Amino acid sequence: MRSIVAPNIQELSFCPLGEPRLRLPEDDPYNSLLTFLSSPQSPHAVRELRLQVHASEVNEGAARILASCLERLDNLRVLQLVYLAEPTDILGASQELLRALCVRDDGRPLLPNLQSMEFKSTKYYRIADRETLQILLETVASSRNAQRVVFGTDVVALRDFEVDISQREWSSDSVSRTSLMSVAGILSGSAGRGKA
């Protein structure tokens, strides 16, 4: 990505390729994305981002890098996060990226123009991690359910919020559906919706 020049690009999909254990340090995909977004020719007009995250390779450093990437996308309107997880993966540091998306009164908000967010995970997480994900996603939604000014920055209200967390076949459909519908319920009066 270091050699790409595309200052006017409006839609961006980022999908890390290759086996993480076979990559050289200089081939780190998240650092490459940050370099791309930090260059003088960076695409400041990006409105839509589809970001795939391999849960197993996101440590605290990678989570900070991804948050730094999002800091450079103030014009972003649509975000789709896809967490690629294996049955043995734990949520771990990858939850820090979701925490960074929460709008707080004590710091500059990420993605102040975000209007639509979709979160998907492949495979499934352990029950405890799935519950942590649910709480984090509810917190993100509730922190963005109304337009307001934070640290001098206008933050628009999130109008659409979609969640799809895969689970074990034997898990109770009704439990997951009820809890995830509450995420959409936070966006009352908007087009938010949740699905299991």
Answer whether CATH 3.90.550 is correct for domain 11-186: no
Higher pLDDT among residues 31 and 113, named by residue: 113
Whole-structure pTM value: 0.79
Contacts with 73 (C-beta within 8 Å, 6 or more apart), sequence order: 37, 46, 49, 111
d(CA 41, CA 51): 20
Mean pLDDT, the chain, whole residue set: 78
Q: Is 140 within 8 Å of 98 (Cβ atoms)?
A: yes
Lowest mean pLDDT across 75-79, 101-105, 120-124, 137-141: 120-124
| pLDDT at residue 67 in the model | 92
Q: Is 143 within 8 Å of 100 (Cβ atoms)?
A: no
Q: What percent of the chain has pLDDT over 70?
A: 70
For the chain, which residues make up each domain, given as ranges? 11-186
Lowest mean pLDDT across 30-34, 123-127, 134-138: 123-127
